[in-house]
């Protein structure tokens, strides 16, 4: 198992066709790499090299030499705050700990990522994408896979064709676009823009900030925090609109307020207290 002295965070660059990449970022002065899988020749041909602060892990390319795609399990332990750049094709990714930058391209593999503090870029075809915390800026794109992000404290652009999107606490500038997938946001206190074609939109609780929600045929539901003044701009062509919000006076300058811009073609709009 290769082991390198790395007292500072490293930059990981990984190429893997199939299998799983597991990265554990923790309080350690060394970086270790373990490679297992099949066929045995593929394990032996996997390249692991450290140059400066850059660690390159490169599995063998697909070729006629292998009857099937090499399927490898690569386990990496590296200092917390390291960065990851990976081309995974159909391989899965599990990353625990705090990463600085994370740039991943995948065809059909699943990704589970703990925390990204700087830049997050995920580009996937059909895999499931899950991120615990994003404190920097993020751009996430998926063709048909579902996307789940726990906390957005920085900024996020999220695009999916048919996958569902679920966001936890949104505290930074966020934009979500989806074709037929549903979008659910647990809470928002910033500027949130959501656009869907046929997918439904649900913002369970908004306490302050601005909502811009647009849908063609999907329904829209917004829950506004108790006691929060709300300015509404609701338009729909043929959808129904219902509101459980009471009329209120002009809020004081130091009071929280919400501006909700909601537009649908045939989708219904429902506003409630949360």
Q: Closest Cα partner for 86 from 142, 15, 19, 24?
A: 15
**Burial group, residue 7, by CB count within 10 angstroms (0-12, 13-18, 19+):** exposed
* Residue-wise pLDDT tens digits, 41-66: 889 999 999 999 999 999 987 655 55
Strands 201-206 and 220-224, how do they pair?
parallel
Rg (CA), the chain: 22
- Chain segment 200-222, per-residue pLDDT in tens: 999 999 999 999 999 999 999 99
Q: Distance between CA 233 and CA 239 in Å, rounded?
A: 15
Helices (H), the chain: 40-45
Q: Is the pLDDT of residue 251 over 70?
A: no
CA atoms within 13 A on the CB side of 27: 0
> What domains can be seen in the chain, in order of their start residue?
1-62+71-112 (2.160.20.120), 128-245+255-273 (no CATH)
The model's pTM is 0.93
Quick one: residue 210, left, alpha or beta (phi over 0 = left, psi -120 to 50 = alpha)? beta
Contact between 215 and 233 under an 8 Å Cβ cutoff? The reply is no
- pLDDT (tens digit, 9 = 90+) per residue, 146-199? 999 999 999 999 999 999 999 999 999 999 999 999 999 999 999 999 999 999
Contact criterion met (CB below 8 Å) for 29 and 61: no
Chain mean pLDDT for the chain: 94
């Amino acid at each position: 198992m290769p082991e390198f002295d790395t007292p500072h965070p490293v930059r990981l660059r990984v190429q893997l066709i199939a299998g799983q990449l597991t990265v554990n970022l923790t309080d350690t002065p060394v970086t270790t790499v373990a490679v297992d899988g099949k066929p045995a020749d593929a394990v032996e041909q996997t390249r692991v090299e450290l140059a400066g602060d850059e660690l390159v892990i490169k599995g063998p390319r697909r070729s006629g030499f292998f009857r099937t795609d090499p399927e490898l399990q690569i386990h990496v332990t590296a200092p917390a705050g390291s960065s990851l750049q990976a081309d995974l094709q159909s391989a899965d990714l599990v990353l625990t700990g705090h990463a600085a930058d994370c740039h991943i391209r995948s065809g059909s593999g699943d990704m589970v990522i703990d925390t990204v503090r700087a830049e997050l870029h995920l580009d996937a075809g059909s895999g499931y994408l899950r991120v615990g915390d994003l404190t920097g800026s993020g751009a996430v794109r998926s063709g048909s896979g579902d996307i789940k992000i726990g906390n957005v404290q920085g900024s996020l652009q999220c695009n999916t064709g048919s996958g569902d999107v679920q966001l936890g606490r949104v505290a930074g500038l966020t934009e979500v676009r989806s074709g037929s997938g549903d979008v659910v946001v647990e809470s928002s206190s910033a500027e949130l823009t959501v656009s869907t074609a046929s997918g439904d939109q649900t913002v369970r609780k908004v306490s302050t900030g601005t909502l811009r929600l647009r849908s063609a045929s999907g329904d829209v539901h917004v829950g506004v925090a108790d006691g929060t003044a709300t300015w509404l701009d609701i338009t729909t062509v043929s959808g129904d609109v219902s509101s459980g919000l009471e009329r209120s006076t002009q809020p004081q300058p130091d009071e929280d307020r919400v501006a909700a811009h909601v537009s649908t073609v045939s989708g219904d709009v429902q506003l409630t207290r949360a």
